[in-house]
Amino acid sequence: MNEEFETVQIAFQLPIDGIFSYHVSKRFMDRLVLGSRVFAPFRNKIQAGFIVGLGPLDGQPDQLREISLVLDEKPYFNQQLWNLLCWASDYYMVPIGLALKTALPSGSDRKSKPWAILTASGRLHLSQSPAKSLPSSLNRLMKRGVVPLSEIVSETESSFIKEASKKGFIIIEQRITPPRRGLGKQYLPELLNPSENESDSGQKVTLTVAQQNAVDSLDMALEKADYQPFLLFGVTGSGKTEVYLKAIEKALSLGKRALTLVPEIALTPQTARIFLSRFGGGIALFHSKLTDAQKLDEWRRVASGSANIVIAARSGIFLPIPDLGLIIVDEEHDNSYKQEDAFPYNARDLALLRGKLENLCVILGSATPSLETFVNVKNGKINRLDLPSRPHGGPLPKTEILDLKSVFPLKHRKNFLTPNLIKAISKTLEENGQVALFLNRRGFDTLAQCSSCGTVLRCPNCDISLTHHKKSHDLRCHMCGYARTAPPTCPSCSSEKLVFSGVGTQKVEESLIELFPEVRIERLDRDSTMKRDSLDDILKRFRNKEIDILTGTQMIVKGHDFPGISLVGILCGDSSLHFPDFRASEHTFQTLVQVSGRTGRESAGGTVLLQTFDPEHYAIQLAATHDYDGFFEKDSVLRRELFYPPYGHLILIKIQGSNQKKVEEKALQIGRQSRILKKPDEPVSILGPAPSPRKKALGKHRWQIILKSQSRNSVRNLVKRLNAEGVLTAHGMSVSIDVDPVNLV
């Protein structure tokens, strides 16, 4: 038969940079569009791949392999989304196949497995041998006719299979298991069901003048339907959510769909609930509690256009939403928008890019915008919308700074429950107010040390000190989860003088219970919320004033709205201030302003007691007065001088592996080569190589090199040259590139 062929281009979800040409029979052609999923032979397997181009590519070989099957009715992405992926792959210097893998739902990258298939003569032969003498996998083969080779593990079985296939009793063939079918129903977990006393009263609110102005500007932008980026700069509790909801309503009324990115849905169920009660059905939620199958169902619902509103964490930026008109990035300063693994993209930055590619209105919302975003506002690249006060018009909470150095006796300094704080708590409780206490360390004692020989008990995988959890009496690593029972004696010198010290949230909780035995006290951190729905339960009870004092970690900071809090105690406000990271001040400032913002929501006032060892530091001082502009001015001077972002560009090269010596050698080699390959006139600083501040993590030794420049092209070109020279690959360890890194430790 003389079939006519056409040529198509395919990309696979593999960490490779190529796009490959294939032949396709003409009669298939009308079923293929960009984004169609097909099966094609690749590297001795049949793999799912995606059509990314119709027609031949330059310089392709004459002999092309043929695609074997067209898999789905509907394409997985359109041209604009493909453009976004190509751009991201180039910008973040990751293979296009890896970008594709990240963007598409897990389960779409199916590939064939080898199967053993019983032939007719094989059946005849095997049926003559007694069933008992056959290994179990062969019995199964007799029953079913086919068995995946992966089930055949033992030596005897394997050699039997080899023999049998030589004789023609068994054929080994690459086969694909049948694809999953069916559109799932909407998955709304328990935790997102609105409870009676929490219903959304927002329908009835009258917008404040500032909210109305913001909504008017957004309405105009949405009607124009071209790229319009906004920063919704609203102080904590200013009612940003209401503005988002109005913008979404507008988008829907124009026949468009809306995507809202949030840092983590499971941590802020309240936001999702407000969306649900306002818009009812037609909402798709992507949160971390979904299984892969549920994610795939939601993904299909979104792709088919059945959901008008999508709420998702960072990976939602790649969802194929038809007729998208609006992207909202809530709490845009949050670090969780940056992915940290093999494809280290930043969803906030991609939101702006996607807006440009698809002519969308993009809203970045925050009370403490990242410096990156604020510089863009100053340069006129992003429009600024202000919500300068809270709806009730009351002042922002008043903050009192307390110098921990001046606190005596030392005992109070040690558990951070200072006499002033205890007094403030008592006063608040007398007035029937609620108290929130913030400390960014969980556990009981954060240090276990021998007082005879000085040995600190560290995680064998991560080299950080282990935290003592009193209830279970074990020592745990908060990086990798390593746990051991607390030893009675020092593992180095056998002395019995092991001392547990340092303060975690559990210790604070225990001291509080002693101090206030009559009071309802709870803790909100990763340990107290391990159980399903316990997070939601604690948040609900706190909201309903069934808890008087809530002590918590970062979890307490996330955009919760608890009207009853009248005192926020920050136990040690400078605990992350001295991290070896140029953003340490920014993170401290943001966290302090956000924590402080949990109080004073209902009416006048709200008090914050900010305890710190570093009361003069500008991040502390300016957080106490909620002075974002002041902080921006101060911090940007320092960054500009040193060409740190947003006034310069960073690329972080990370070298990680289990062999310490090899990691070090590789890092030194990359450092040397960087200095050789850097042209004399290129304004690039090469910092390192040096062991990473966290020099061991999850059992891997870590080194790093930071390339820094005021010119984005210079720093990119240097990395491209390193790559072209093959310097950035290594055996037995990983060398990864992080463009615009957020985590430098």
Point out which residues bind Zn ion (CB under 5 A).
Answer: 450, 452-453, 455, 459, 461-462, 477, 479-480, 482, 490, 492-493, 495
CB of 242 to ligand ADP, least distance (A): 4
Taking the least distance from each CB to ligand ADP, the nearer of 217 and 704 is 217
What residues numbered 563-622 form the site for ligand ADP, per CB under 6 A?
Answer: none
Taking the least distance from each CB to ligand ADP, the nearer of 158 and 199 is 199
Piece of the chain touching ligand ADP by CB under 6 A; list 199-207, 406-414, 443-451, 519-527: 199-207
CB of 403 to ligand ADP, least distance (A): 29
Residues 336, 225: Cα–Cα separation, whole Å: 29
Taking the least distance from each CB to ligand ADP, the nearer of 559 and 689 is 559
Is 268 a binding residue for ligand ADP by CB under 6 A? The answer is no
Non-local (6+) Cβ contacts of 11 within 8 A are 18, 19, 20, 49, 50, 52, 96, 97, 100
| Cβ(14)–Cβ(62) below 8 Å | no
Closest residue by beta carbon to ligand ADP: 239
DSSP, res 157: H
CB of 597 to ligand ADP, least distance (A): 7
Phi/psi zone of residue 93: left (φ > 0), alpha (ψ -120 to 50 degrees), beta?
left
| Cβ(13)–Cβ(45) below 8 Å | no
Instruction: Report residue 465 as tokens.
Output: 């000190």
Taking the least distance from each CB to Zn ion, the nearer of 279 and 482 is 482
| Cβ(296)–Cβ(245) below 8 Å | no
Residue in 122, 320, 504, 559 binding ligand ADP, rule: CB under 6 A: 559
Taking the least distance from each CB to Zn ion, the nearer of 452 and 673 is 452
For 110, list phi and psi in degrees, rounded to 5. -75, 145
| Cβ(337)–Cβ(348) below 8 Å | yes
Taking the least distance from each CB to ligand ADP, the nearer of 331 and 738 is 331
CB of 694 to Zn ion, least distance (A): 10
Q: Decide which of ligand ADP, Zn ion, none touches 452; Cβ closer than 5 to 8 Å per partner kind.
A: Zn ion
Taking the least distance from each CB to ligand ADP, the nearer of 211 and 736 is 211
Q: Decide which of ligand ADP, Zn ion, none touches 738; Cβ closer than 5 to 8 Å per partner kind.
A: none
Helix (H) or strand (E) holding 467: strand 467-469
Taking the least distance from each CB to ligand ADP, the nearer of 320 and 606 is 606
Coil, helix or strand at residue 286: strand
CB of 237 to ligand ADP, least distance (A): 4
CB of 200 to ligand ADP, least distance (A): 8
Residues 439, 416: Cα–Cα separation, whole Å: 9
CB of 449 to Zn ion, least distance (A): 9
User: Is 167 exposed, middle or buried (CB count within 10 Å of its CB: 0-12, 13-18, 19+)?
Assistant: exposed
* CA distances for 414 relative to 219, 408, 503, 616, angstroms: 53, 10, 7, 21
Taking the least distance from each CB to Zn ion, the nearer of 152 and 498 is 498
| Cβ(557)–Cβ(584) below 8 Å | no
CB of 70 to ligand ADP, least distance (A): 46
The dihedral built from the CA positions of residue 594, 596, 598 and 600, taken in this order, carries a sign that is: negative
What residues numbered 205-244 form the site for ligand ADP, per CB under 6 A?
Answer: 205-208, 211, 234, 236-242
Residue in 264, 533, 537, 561 binding ligand ADP, rule: CB under 6 A: 561
Q: Decide which of ligand ADP, Zn ion, none touches 477; Cβ closer than 5 to 8 Å per partner kind.
A: Zn ion
Taking the least distance from each CB to Zn ion, the nearer of 250 and 442 is 442
Q: Decide which of ligand ADP, Zn ion, none touches 584; Cβ closer than 5 to 8 Å per partner kind.
A: none
CB of 489 to Zn ion, least distance (A): 8
Taking the least distance from each CB to Zn ion, the nearer of 188 and 480 is 480
Taking the least distance from each CB to ligand ADP, the nearer of 587 and 601 is 601
Q: Decide which of ligand ADP, Zn ion, none touches 717; Cβ closer than 5 to 8 Å per partner kind.
A: none
What residues numbered 20-59 form the site for ligand ADP, per CB under 6 A?
Answer: none
Q: In 5-25, which positions are buried (b, 16+ CB within 10 angstroms) versus exposed (e)?
A: eeebbbbbbbeeeebbbbbbe
Residues 40, 47: Cα–Cα separation, whole Å: 6
Helices within 12-154 (DSSP H only): 26-29, 79-91, 96-103, 120-128, 136-144
Identify any residues that bridge with 22 across adjacent strands, giving them in sequence order: 8
Is 689 a binding residue for ligand ADP by CB under 6 A? The answer is no
What is the 3 state secondary structure string of 10-41? EEECCCCCCCEEEEEEHHHHCCCCCCCEEEEE
Residues 182, 165: Cα–Cα separation, whole Å: 37
Q: Decide which of ligand ADP, Zn ion, none touches 453; Cβ closer than 5 to 8 Å per partner kind.
A: Zn ion
Largest CA distance in the chain: 94
Taking the least distance from each CB to ligand ADP, the nearer of 145 and 194 is 194
**Structure-derived torsion over alpha carbons of residues 688, 694, 700, 705, reported in degrees to the nearest 10:** -20
Q: Decide which of Zn ion, ligand ADP, none touches 208; Cβ closer than 5 to 8 Å per partner kind.
A: ligand ADP
Q: Decide which of ligand ADP, Zn ion, none touches 321; Cβ closer than 5 to 8 Å per partner kind.
A: none
CB of 462 to Zn ion, least distance (A): 3
CB of 700 to Zn ion, least distance (A): 11
Strand-pair category, 5-12 with 20-25: antiparallel
Residues 705, 191: Cα–Cα separation, whole Å: 43
Q: Decide which of ligand ADP, Zn ion, none touches 482; Cβ closer than 5 to 8 Å per partner kind.
A: Zn ion
Taking the least distance from each CB to Zn ion, the nearer of 134 and 479 is 479
DSSP for 313-371, written as a single string: SGGGGG---TTEEEEEEETTT-GGGB--SSS--BHHHHHHHHHHHHT-EEEEEESS--H
Q: Decide which of ligand ADP, Zn ion, none touches 242; Cβ closer than 5 to 8 Å per partner kind.
A: ligand ADP
Total residues contacting ligand ADP by CB under 6 A comes to 17
Non-local (6+) Cβ contacts of 654 within 8 A are 692, 702, 703, 704, 734, 735, 736, 737, 738
Is 391 a binding residue for ligand ADP by CB under 6 A? The answer is yes
Instruction: Report residue 328 as tokens.
Output: 């909202």
Token pair 């300068």 in the structure block, residue: 388
Residues 390, 164: Cα–Cα separation, whole Å: 78
CB of 387 to ligand ADP, least distance (A): 7
CB of 574 to ligand ADP, least distance (A): 24
Q: Decide which of Zn ion, ligand ADP, none touches 459; Cβ closer than 5 to 8 Å per partner kind.
A: Zn ion
**Chain positions contacting ligand ADP, by CB under 6 A:** 202, 205-208, 211, 234, 236-242, 391, 559, 561
